[in-house]
Structure formats: structure tokens, C-alpha cells
Amino acid sequence: MSEITEKPVIGITMGDYNGIGPEVILKALHNNQMNRICTPVVYGSMKVLNRYRALSDMKDWQLTGAQSAETANPKLTNVITCFNDQATEVEPGKVTPEAGKAAFECLKRGVEDLKAGKIAALVTAPINKKNIQSDDFAFPGHTEYLADAFGVKENLMFMISEDLRVAVVTGHIPLAEVSAVLTRDKITKKISLLTQSLRNDFGIRKPRIAVLGLNPHAGEDGLLGSEDAQIIRPAVQDLQNKGQLVFGPMPADGFFGTQQYKKYDAVLAMYHDQGLIPFKTIAFEEGVNFTAGMVAVRTSPDHGTAYDIAGKNQASEVSMLHAIYAAIDIAKNRAEQQNLEKNALKKQDLRAILKGDDSKSGR
């Protein structure tokens, strides 16, 4: 079992090999600079990565093959080949069924190791949500696949950067379905997951959370829709009554336009584009997609496959770098929180023993 130490083992899935995933991974790990803070294990293909290494002018830097995460060399960039790549033809910018199948095999192996505790966290490079579909992968994206793999009913798509954190109530569903699935209970659960993540994953003890409205002007007191007044506001008020620093619903346009987000530790948007459009406008280069509410840590860059620039040595590795940094930081924060909780329990046991109450000490 991989320990969360000073150098945690971080898994990285290659994604669609005809997109920019392999390139940004290589650029992020170039010359083993990342090995100072973690041991990277890439779930992919040595053949494919060497092809992109040549296209990105990194011929002077070598990768090393590994049979498993347990045997990874802490001083080098390790590659676990997850599919038969002998007949693989790299075609940057093209959507092929072979690339989709390979992306799934890499993801599957990475998730298996994550579940087994062989890696401290998993960073996923972009997939094509269409060509990866199969009998084994019938999900809208990474988040839903991971939730199913870990048996998690409720999770949270959480976009994070240094200056802005945005979560969404509804993720990869059509806009026409958003209103129908919004409920007071669902919003409350998402805020609960968001609060827990801010505390355990980011070390924010008393987080301030802004909740966006669904309709223009947050419904304009019912004139532009009833969801804000009848669903969102009551959920917020319930949490406020419990002492939580939750505010809203707030009109999304003015909220971002006047930079009110700087006053809060996180923002909860009602649907995908409401949160991700402003997030990517403000923090695209350094943005990270984090799946909160999971027992394991998973992050990814906030961009897609970018087929138009694949293989041209034009892709920026900044978001991938931040995704790896975030995975390391969150894994360590969780480990520290768990240690604090264990020590707190020990103190409680000691107090119980000193008082002569063996039943509370578990004896």
C-alpha cells in the first residue's frame, strides 16, 4: 500500500493518444523535475510517449518502463504500458476507435491501482468522451466512471485554481434537464460535499461559500422563474440557520462581473456551463478539475484533447502541472487530517481511561 510520504506515488493516465495528453504529460515531467516532490507513474504506452517525445524535441530525455506502481523508480519517470501497442499508429488530431480503446485501458489500470492503494492519487489526461464509449465505459466522462468504480452515489465536480474554486450541482447533463433535477435536498448535499472538501482537502476550517441562482437575476423574486425562491434560497437558509457561512442565491453575471468571487472560498454553480465558462475565462491556464467527495484523490487539467494542435509542440503543460501539484497537496492534506482525527480519538480514549470509564475507551 502506497504511503502518503514526502514523495507520494502519483498515477497519470495518458488519455486519448491522438490528443494533447501525451505531450502535456511529457512536458510536465520533462527531465524528471517532478521527481523532487513525487514519483510519477504514467499509465500509457512507451511507444506512444516516445513518439511524442520526438515530436516535442525531448530526445535527450529517457523514460523507464515499469511493470507495476510498486516497482516504480523514484528517480525517474515511469511508464506502465497498458495495451498492446505494437500495431498502434499515432495520428495526432484524428479521432480513432483504437485511441478510445487505449484510453480506456489506461484509465482502467490507473483506477485499479488507485483502488488498491498502490498510488496516492490519480491525474487523468483528456479523453474523447465519444470514442471511448463501449460496453465497459458507458459514462459521460471520467467523473462518472470513477464514481461508479468507487461506489459513490454523490460526488462533486470541483474546478480549482489559486484564486477561484467553482463546484457544480449538475454536471454532464443536457441544459434542458437541469431544472427538473434541482431539488432542495440535492443542493444541500452538494454544499455539504463542498464544505467537507474545503475543510479536509484544502485546510479551510470555516469556509465561505457563494451559491449562484439558476435563472437570470436569480429569478427576480419569481418574475424570471421559481427555482431560486422555492428551491435554492430555502436550502441556503437552512444551512445558515445551522451556522454555516453559505450565501445566495446570487445572480451569476454580476457575481463574476464584479469579482465578488474573491470574497469567498468557493462558489457553487447550478449547472456545468454556468460555473465552467467563467472559471475557464479567469483561470484557464492554471485550472484543475478535481472530483470531490471521493475516498480517493483524482484531478485533471481543465482542458480537452485539443486535436487542432496535437502533435505540433504547441500545447501548454501548465494546467497539467497544476493538476499534479493539486493531487499531491490534496493527498497530503487528507493524510494530515486523518492523523489529526486519529490523535484526537487517542486523546479521548486516554481521558476515558483516566476517568475510569472503560466503555468509552473501547475496552
d(CA 291, CA 319): 16
**CA distances (Å), origin 58, targets 23, 25, 55:** 10, 12, 8
Amino acid 339: pLDDT: 78
* Cell of residue 42, nine digits: 504514467
| CATH 3.40.718.10, the chain: domain bounds | 1-152+294-363, 156-291
- The kind and range of the H/E element at 240 are helix 233-241
Mean pLDDT of 111-122: 97
Q: Which of 237, 238, 215 is nearest to 226 (CA)?
A: 215
Q: How confident is the model over 204-261, as pLDDT tens digits?
A: 999 999 999 999 998 888 888 899 999 999 999 999 999 999 999 999 999 999 999 9
Q: Which of 185, 239, 187, 193 is nearest to 213 (CA)?
A: 187
CATH for the 156-291 domain, from 3.20.20.70, 3.40.718.10, 3.30.1050.10, 1.20.58.390: 3.40.718.10
129-132 long-range contacts (CB < 8 A, ≥24 apart) are 130/95, 130/100, 131/16, 131/95, 131/96, 131/97, 131/99, 131/100, 131/103, 132/16, 132/100, 132/101, 132/103, 132/104
Residue with the larger pLDDT of the pair 249 and 344:
249
Does the structure show a pLDDT above 60 at 362?
no
Does the structure show a pLDDT above 60 at 34?
yes
| Most confident stretch, 257-261, 332-336, 354-358 | 257-261
Q: How confident is the model over 247-297, as pLDDT tens digits?
A: 999 999 999 999 999 999 999 999 999 999 999 999 988 999 999 999 999
The average confidence (pLDDT) of the chain is: 92
Q: How confident is the model over 208-222, as pLDDT tens digits?
A: 999 999 999 988 888
- The kind and range of the H/E element at 318 are helix 318-354
Write the class of the CATH domain 1-152+294-363: alpha beta
Does the structure show a pLDDT above 80 at 78?
yes
Mean pLDDT of 95-110: 97
Amino acid 229: pLDDT: 95
Amino acid 276: pLDDT: 95
